[in-house]
Amino acid sequence: METIREKRNILCFIISYVINNLASGVLYDTYVNYLQEVQVSIATSFWAFYGYATFISALLLLAVPKIGYKKLLLFCSLGTSFAFFGAIFLQYDWVLYAATLLALTGVQLHFIMLSPFIACYTEHLGLKKINWYTRTYYMGYIGYFIATYLGGAFVVKAFSVVSGITYSAAQEATRYITQLSNAMYADYMMGNEIVLFLFGCISLISLIPVLFIKEKKEDFVTHEFQDKISWKQKIRGISEVLLNRYSRAYLLYWALISFAMGLFTSYYTVYLNRNLHIDKATSSLIVSISYIAIVLFMFFTPKCVKKFGKVGTIFFTVMASIPFMILIGCGNYLGDFVVPVVGGALFIRAGLANLSSPVDSSLSMDVIPKSIRPIYTSLVNFMAGIVSILSGYFTGGYLFLEQSGYQKAYFIAAGLYAVAGIVLYKGLHSFNHKEDQIVKQEESL
């Protein structure tokens, strides 16, 4: 009977996670485009809010040993829903700031809870537990794919209904939003608000599977969150990290990649729609199709690691991404071929980036001794949050002050990717194919 409870809890989590990813897909697509109209300063510095949400989510996760997972999962669903509702009905500046932070915290907390939640119910499964992680990730990406596509299509449909025009006419009108008449622009904005309200309601549905989770105290007080580390141990651990040349190289590499990601990952449809004048529905479709690459390319991860090693795989995917990022940035020169070429470039870039993401997670744990892995994980996340905030301030305070900045972002990011790849290779090339031996040597010092 105990295994039935565990299986039910995981299935309920997966259902809530998929529904929450529907909201996440709309958040990173429709919501960002909506902010471009109602509060551009938030839209252009969106990645900074992502950094703040990362910090808040990490702090909330520390409450698990006290309150469990279930209450935090309820907060994720309610927070995301209320954020959408608040942004629609209470368009004060402070509400929009709070709503953006709340929505990002809701989806980010749900994501970072995935690993510890699945782990606490699959410890007895041995190697088979990876199947639950795989199912959860795949199902989550499916939800993200559906929401990203439907978000754009639903906006156009709602726009057409409100304005009383055909879907194709509304789709064509969204190519040049800045040229819409006042009446048509108001209808377009109402179309966005209808979609945000709809997905706010859908996010509330994720409360239902969470309510069916049957949690026991021993589920969340006996795992790794229970362990307490003194400040003296933390300081000593940080010193060990900074003295380890492999961990320093990885930290610098990840800082560069995190900053670069903040320049474009939240603004795909903004660039496609506003710079390349691809209609809203097609823009969302292009981005949503690129998420299919995430699943397809990850099938090649084990083979690449076996052939190139972990460092070699990451270096290859980072450097191979650069030509496609430049190609996306040159989309305005492609004429009638802009949709297939840019769409294909986005697809391949997304695939390459996610082919190495499992390797990234593994390598970050390999470069340091086991005894300081928890501290190093915290340090990596803390650094990523700081860099995300800096990236957001850079885009909001400088790069995106002009619409052309969304195009320049791809060239800057490509340069940062090149530097990051070189840093990784120079710092860790001797580590490649020798991970286990080097870790053992470090631990024996």
The label of the residue with tokens 């996306």 reads 328
Residue 370 confidence class, pLDDT cut points 50, 70, 90:
low
Residue 123 has pLDDT above 90, yes or no: no
Compare 420 and 116 and report the one with higher pLDDT.
Answer: 420
Query: How is residue 223 annotated by DSSP?
Result: S
Residue 445 has pLDDT above 50, yes or no: no
Write down the mean pLDDT value for the chain: 82
Please state the length of the chain: 445
Compare 424 and 443 and report the one with higher pLDDT.
Answer: 424
Give pLDDT, residue 194.
Answer: 93
Q: Who contacts 214 (Cβ-Cβ below 8 Å, separation ≥6)?
A: 5, 8, 9
Q: Who contacts 243 (Cβ-Cβ below 8 Å, separation ≥6)?
A: none
- Rounded mean pLDDT of 349-377? 70
Give pLDDT, residue 421.
Answer: 92
Cβ proximity of 216 and 176 under 8 Å: no
Residue 75 confidence class, pLDDT cut points 50, 70, 90:
very high
- First and final C-alpha spacing in the chain: 47
pLDDT tens, residue by residue, 37-49: 888 889 888 888 9
Residue 101 has pLDDT above 90, yes or no: yes
- Rounded mean pLDDT of 164-180? 86
pLDDT tens, residue by residue, 243-274: 567 778 888 898 999 899 989 988 888 899 88
d(CA 260, CA 413): 5
- Rounded mean pLDDT of 339-346? 93
What is the pTM for the complete model shown? 0.77
- Rounded mean pLDDT of 316-341? 92
Give pLDDT, residue 374.
Answer: 56
d(CA 99, CA 76): 13
Give pLDDT, residue 365.
Answer: 61
**Residue 248 host element (H or E):** helix 245-261
Cβ proximity of 29 and 269 under 8 Å: yes
Residue 297 has pLDDT above 90, yes or no: no
Give pLDDT, residue 251.
Answer: 84
Give pLDDT, residue 40.
Answer: 87
- Taking alpha carbons only, the member of 66, 35, 63 closest to residue 48 is 35
Give pLDDT, residue 302.
Answer: 78
Residue 126 has pLDDT above 80, yes or no: no
Which residue type sits at 106? G
Give pLDDT, residue 339.
Answer: 92
Lowest mean pLDDT segment, chosen from 9-18, 298-307, 335-344 = 298-307
d(CA 367, CA 435): 7
Give pLDDT, residue 419.
Answer: 96
Residue 224 has pLDDT above 80, yes or no: no
Give pLDDT, residue 433.
Answer: 54
- Other Cβ atoms less than 10 A from the Cβ of 344: the count is 17
Residue 435 has pLDDT above 60, yes or no: no
Residue 235 has pLDDT above 60, yes or no: no
Residue 436 confidence class, pLDDT cut points 50, 70, 90:
very low
**For 160-187, b where at least 16 C-beta lie within 10 A, e where not — what string?**
bebbebeeeebbebbbebeebeeebeeb
